[in-house]
Amino acid sequence: MSEEEKMISGELYNSSDKQLVEKLINAKKLCNQYNKLDVDDTENRNKIIKQLFSKTGKNFMIMPNFYCDYGFNIEIGENFYSNHNLVILDANKVTIGNNVQIGPNCGLYTSGHPIDKNLRRKVEFAKPITIGSDVWIGGNVCIMPGVTIGDNTVIGAGSVVTKDIQSNVIAYRKSLQSDKRNIRKKG
């Protein structure tokens, strides 16, 4: 099994593998090209995103700056919008539904690292992230490996999402003094 196959299957893999590094560098070059384009150069920006991502809807907008690791593991649906400074570490699949809005300075991180320091020096792992349709993610949100966010859900600004969030809820951090995640049913 190749390191890429291990990566996508969620097994421990060597991220320094030559083929993976080549794909990573290619994606970083495309992100740099994207971020240097004028914000109104929608045609060329969209061409780069379609070259990077495995699937896009017809209508989407990703404000620069945007960064990803590989790109080929990212799928976005129709009417996707992200504000500035979106980071998607896509060592595993990132699937985003229709009508999703993401605030500024957000990160979707499929990558994780073993706790054991000796193992951590050699390998890492990645778990998929799935975001349903009609989701709004506020600014400065981090979504961690293996998380699924259900349809019609709002994630409040500043949240760190470490566990699945069901559909039709508002999930947020109450305050900086609290580590508890509060979930409230809509309507």
Residues with active-site annotation = 113
Residue 149 in tokens: 């966010």
Residue 180 C-beta-side C-alpha neighbours within 13 Å: 5
- Give 51: exposed, middle or buried? Use CB within 10 Å, 0-12, 13-18, 19+: middle
- CA dist., res. 19 & res. 16, Å (int): 9
- CA dist., res. 124 & res. 23, Å (int): 17
